[in-house]
Amino acid sequence: MKSTTAIIVGLIQYEPPVIDDTTQEEITAGKHVVKLEDISLVSTNRNNTNGQSLNLPWMNAQSTALEENPIPNMSTSPVNNEGSS
C-alpha cells in the first residue's frame, strides 16, 4: 500500500476587516492568511523491503521556522513594570 504525507511549514496571520471611514461599513471581511514557506511530500510503500530509508530534509536543518519567526505572545493585557526594581 502506498501513502503520501504532506509536511506544510508556514505562518498563519489574521488580517482584520477593512472598514470604510465614512460609512463605517465593512468593505472586506477579516480573514486568516497562510504564508507558505515550504511543502515536503513523503511517499512510502507499506511493503518496503528494499532497506532504503527516508531522507527528511527538515530533520537536517540548522534552525526551524519557529526559531527564526517565533510566535508572538497574543496576550491582550499589557505588562506593567511599575514598581519593579
pLDDT (tens digit, 9 = 90+) per residue, 29-79? 999 999 999 999 888 876 656 666 666 666 666 555 556 656 565 555 555
pLDDT over 80 at 18, yes or no? yes
pTM of the model: 0.38
Q: Interior CA angle at 12 toward 41 and 77, to 5°?
A: 150
The Cα–Cα gap between 62 and 38 comes to 15
Give Cα separations from 47 to 21, 69, 76, 84 (angstroms): 62, 39, 52, 63
**Which residues, including other chains, have CB under 8 Å from residue 34's CB and lie 6 or more apart?**
10, 11, 12
- What pLDDT, on a 0 to 100 scale, did the predictor assign at position 85? 45
